[in-house]
Structure 1
Amino acid sequence: MIATSFHAGASRRHSAGFTLVELMVGAAVGLLATLVIALVMSKAEGFKRSAASGTDAQVNGGMAIYALQRQLKMAGYGLITASAAQGCTLSAKQGMGTLPTTLAPVLITAGANGASDQIRVLGSSKTSYSLPTKVIAPYYDPHDTTGKALRFAVATALGANGGDLMAVIYGADKPCQIFQVSADPSIIRQIDRVDDGKWNQPGFPDTATTPLSSSFTPFLVNLGALSDVTYSISADFRLQQSTVDYTTLLTSSQDVQSNIVVLKALYGKDTDMNATVDTYDNVGPKNNAEWMQVKALRVAVLARSAQYEKDEVTTTLPQWDVGSVGTIPDASTCGTSKCITLHADLVSSDWKHYRYKVFDTLVPLRNQVWSDFVTTPGAATSSGQ
């Protein structure tokens, strides 16, 4: 038989467990590991949000520039097919607080001291035909008592419908006046204008359409209900679209894209008329000849990330690279190119805590390019059909 010895002290020593020091060390290591994990996850989440917000800016900016581009492609539809209509001063007996003062494809209202611009895009709303039509004898006469004040004899009434707004073009750089077609034409060569106390107040249009020279005959431009859309930046950093309804004379607005902080636009002008744009600026043309120089519109939007960053992640104001071709006022040299500063600092004082992306596009005004340009405004070839 083998004897087994038992030592009471050894048994107590092996079953004693952790000491207080060991527990404290373990707790400290656990807390340290938890802190490190929390910091890593926090940083990872921050990077994730920054990346996601950058993607949001990419999407918002891309969609905003697409919406502008799509609208601008239709600028001037039906209005400027006959070049003498461009730049005329509009007048009417209704809606003068809403109507644009000038008949043109695009009107830029430049923001002061670097603030965002507004872009107003005009066009005929006709979905069928919107063609200029020459007036013929017997000519409209607002002072006539035999019926000439109630109708326009025209080369053709094709495309005209009751309720359409018509602009009477008396010649390049002469005021143009608006009346409303009273009913669907029952005669192919006649458009009725009945006094109604609204657009067609008695004696308006107040100028007869009798040709003043052999080189120009007045003509009509069919505006339909007139497509009148203005793009601007709202106070809560959204690209906003405002549309005028000329039936009710009310304006409705809707948001196009969020987190758009700056909108800038430039006319692309062919000042020497060699079919090449040589100047970009936001100076509105003053007459028919200057409007004929406008061949394109250049637009930039500045999109901002939705994520506010704790640190200053943007240290310099974003730049719009406008290239080195052409004369571009207010542009400064940036490397081998020219840039225009986009003033995000005018939007908010904490602008440095956001990330930005610049989107730009150059849109040829195709209805402008396709218009029947003539070197002498008001010549017979620009008098419509």
Structure 2
Amino acid sequence: MKTSFPTRSRGFSLVELMVSVVIGLLALLFAVRMVGGAEQARRSALGGSDEMQNGMVALFSLSNDAGSAGYGLNDPIIAGCNTQFNDTKGYQLAPATRGATAVTPLAPVVIESHGASPDRVSFYSGTSVGGTPTLRLTSDAAAGATQLDVDRIAYGFNQGDVLVVAPEQPGGDCRLVQRSDSDSTATRVMLAAGGGMRFNGGNPTASFKGYAARVFDLGPVGSLAFRSWSVADGYLQLRATGPDDTSAQPSTVAENIVSIKAQYGFDTRAGGAFLPQNGLQVNRWSATMIDADGSGIVGDAGDWQHIAAVRLAIVARSKAFEHPAAGAACTTTTAQPVVFAGDAPTGVAGVPITLNVAVAGDPLDWRCYRYRAFETVVTLRNAGWRPNP
């Protein structure tokens, strides 16, 4: 008689099942961490790309304006003069000080320095093809005069052109207006308001003496390059006198720009040693005006004529923020950026500035972002191309 035994059941034991579950959970955890790390690396890479792109766009925009700044404004008669100006579309000249007096100078660049916060930087230039033709007044022009009598036919002065009326003796007030008539045979220039003459309004107080003042033509209003750059809420913004600028609000040029900074490069040679027709040089950097000509007055017309270059810095941040560890503070960036630390050119000491890159209203700490600073030095070549006094 055969004895049969029951066949043993095949499958996993409880212990084997538990071990399999633990191994699976460990593998899942590893996969999640790996995917999370890859995603973080991707975000960082994309953030770096955003920094580079936005920063280069911003730096190119400002340096391009700086490269053409001062064209038509380099005559010693008008360079640095306190200019009365009114624009019906809302553009305003940048404020500055002359000693203790508030002024609005015509110059290649005007920096409104705000310490660790973003600056506002304005670049001015004309576009007259004729090389900024000039006329001389032959009779007195009272404040707000709408007719200027000049010494010859106003050839090259076209209707709508932007004009600067300035005393021949530097240091007085100037007036920026537009020619409203088109008479090419008259020895006069009309400055009537209305009719699209956007610069002929306001209440100017500057008056001019006959045979002691000149009229300069900066070219058509549509191509006048008066442009002011600033940063607000993480955006690079532009205000300009362009024909499409129809409101008092600035236009946005680039995002995730948290600061722009600028410094004047002064040629501090004074007296007979200062010969701009033989070339300018940078001896000193400063974010504010100095007594560069040694006259004893900070910010007079002579100081503006001693500006040889401008140093620019742009700080861009990554678009994506990086999460800190649970319960910890962000450590993606641990120190505020510092710009202008190096010599430029060699032997001219830099004046470093530590920047505040926190964006007002941003709920995240500034340390959660990555930052990249871009710097350049632009020679104001038009400042050296000037007629002799």
TM-score by length of 2: 0.78
2:353 maps to 340
8 Å contact from structure 1 (residues 165, 179) kept in 2: yes
Task: Measure how far apart 1:39 and its partner are.
Answer: 0.7
Q: 1:313 aligns with which of 332, 340, 360?
A: 332
2:342 maps to 323
8 Å contact from structure 1 (residues 77, 123) kept in 2: yes
Q: Deviations over 1:197-220 (max 9, x none)?
A: 7765899886445234xxxx6342
Q: Residues of 2 paired with 1:251 and 1:93: CA distance?
A: 13
2:101 maps to none
1:210 maps to 210
8 Å contact from structure 2 (residues 154, 184) kept in 1: no
In the alignment, structure 1 residue 46 sits paired with structure 2 residue 40: yes
In the alignment, structure 1 residue 358 sits paired with structure 2 residue 373: yes
SS in 2 for 1:85: coil
Residue 7 to residue 255, structure 1, CA distance change in 2 (3 Å): farther
Residue 37 to residue 185, structure 1, CA distance change in 2 (3 Å): same
Q: 1:102 aligns with which of 92, 102, 105?
A: 105
Task: Measure how far apart 1:83 and its partner are.
Answer: 2.1
Superposed structure 1 runs of 4+ greater than 6 Å apart: 201-206, 246-249
Task: Measure how far apart 1:17 and its partner are.
Answer: 1.9
Task: Measure how far apart 1:265 and its partner are.
Answer: 0.4
Task: Measure how far apart 1:132 and its partner are.
Answer: 3.2
Q: Residues of 1 paired with 2:281 and 2:86: CA distance?
A: 40
SS in 2 for 1:306: coil
Task: Measure how far apart 1:70 and its partner are.
Answer: 0.9
Q: Deviations over 1:274-326 (max 9, x none)?
A: 73201111223612211111011101011111121123121122121432333
In the alignment, structure 1 residue 68 sits paired with structure 2 residue 68: no
Residue 251 to residue 129, structure 1, CA distance change in 2 (3 Å): farther
Query: Percent identity over the alignment?
Result: 29
Q: Which has more radius of gyration?
A: 1
Q: Residues of 2 paired with 1:40 and 1:200: CA distance?
A: 67
8 Å contact from structure 1 (residues 120, 231) kept in 2: yes
2:237 maps to 240
Q: Residues of 1 paired with 2:203 and 2:372: CA distance?
A: 54
2:82 maps to 89
In the alignment, structure 1 residue 32 sits paired with structure 2 residue 26: yes
8 Å contact from structure 1 (residues 87, 103) kept in 2: yes
Residue 149 to residue 52, structure 1, CA distance change in 2 (3 Å): closer
SS in 2 for 1:162: coil
Question: Counterparts of 1:165-184 in structure 2 under 5 Å?
Answer: 165-171=162-168, 172-184=170-182
1:298 maps to 311
Q: Residues of 2 paired with 1:99 and 1:320: CA distance?
A: 28
Task: Measure how far apart 1:266 and its partner are.
Answer: 0.2
SS in 1 for 2:62: helix
Unaligned runs of 5+ in 1: 332-338, 380-385
Structure 2 letter corresponding to 1:222: L
TM-score by length of 1: 0.78
In the alignment, structure 1 residue 153 sits paired with structure 2 residue 150: yes
8 Å contact from structure 2 (residues 308, 379) kept in 1: yes
Equivalenced residues, count: 343
Unaligned runs of 5+ in 2: 94-103, 290-297, 325-330
Task: Measure how far apart 1:367 and its partner are.
Answer: 1.3
Task: Measure how far apart 1:363 and its partner are.
Answer: 0.7
Structure 1 letter corresponding to 2:111: I
Residue 24 to residue 195, structure 1, CA distance change in 2 (3 Å): closer
Task: Measure how far apart 1:129 and its partner are.
Answer: 3.5
Q: Residues of 1 paired with 2:38 and 2:204: CA distance?
A: 70
Structure 1 letter corresponding to 2:50: D
8 Å contact from structure 2 (residues 81, 172) kept in 1: yes
1:116 maps to 118
Q: Residues of 2 paired with 1:230 and 1:203: CA distance?
A: 23
Task: Measure how far apart 1:175 and its partner are.
Answer: 1.0
Q: Residues of 2 paired with 1:157 and 1:115: CA distance?
A: 46
Q: 1:227 aligns with which of 225, 228, 236?
A: 225
Task: Measure how far apart 1:231 and its partner are.
Answer: 0.6
Q: 2:288 aligns with which of 283, 286, 295?
A: 283
Q: Deviations over 1:154-190 (max 9, x none)?
A: 5563432111221112121111123321223422x73
RMSD: 3.2
Q: Residues of 1 paired with 2:133 and 2:3: CA distance?
A: 119
8 Å contact from structure 2 (residues 54, 316) kept in 1: yes
